[in-house]
Amino acid sequence: MKVFPAVDILDGTCVQLVQGDRKNSVAYGDPVLRAEEWLQQGADALHVINLDGAFGAADKNVGLIKEIIRSTGAEIQLGGGIRSTADAAGWLDAGVTRVIIGTLAADRPEAITDIADAYGKEAVMAGVDARGGKVVVHGWEETAGDFITMARAFEERGAGALLFTNVDVEGLCNGIAEEPVRRLREAVRIPVVASGGITTPQDVHIMREIGVEGIVLGSALYRGTITLKEAIEEAER
């Protein structure tokens, strides 16, 4: 199981949000330095989110993200503000490993197929951000359909993997909600990367037992409730 440290960027700064609310952001400095720091501590992949893009300002932070791509040379999955196949193509051509599309996948599922046809299935990860069992889109401000139904539809459209974020527990550092992750893992055949609430090595252990392909570590990693070393050791057992 792979561990993806999160580098979430808002107004040019690495931040962590609580429950996706930009009013509850905590700043953690230069995103490029943070990305390099996680790699130095043992990560071999990064989860980069352009939060300004998610909130509607897709042009923000482009230079910073490209600098992370150039300076690290790491595997990078990128999301936030990718609202068209052209946006996705631009980032894939710039060197990201895979794009994460959530709102685009929900609004135009055929975009998954278009990206997969052009760059391969492994280049497109569909985001399944769920609150109360319903997919939320447009910066988690609007509700779409049932998360299992939509996940299966994304798989059928050609997504190479799914990013499942449990919004109910995201950013709270109170632990995971196991049942939705199990349901999703059992419902699809493609790899699932899980995010939301992972706080302790025991949470990592449970995710590994469920059989997810990877986990994203955000708030807990930045607050120090779990170290990257602890997470990687548990993930690789």
Alpha carbon distance, N-terminus to C-terminus of the chain? 9
Q: Is 117 a catalytic residue?
A: no
Give the residues across from 21 on adjacent strands: 18
Q: Is 52 a catalytic residue?
A: no
Cβ pair 142, 136 in contact under 8 A: yes
**Beta strand ranges found along 19-133 (DSSP E):** 21-27, 45-50, 75-79, 98-101, 124-131
* Given 11, 107, 129, 168, the catalytic residue: 129
Q: How far is CA 199 from CA 122, 125, 178, 215, 222, in A?
A: 28, 24, 13, 11, 11
Residue 111 tokens read as 């975009």
The catalytic residue positions are 8, 129
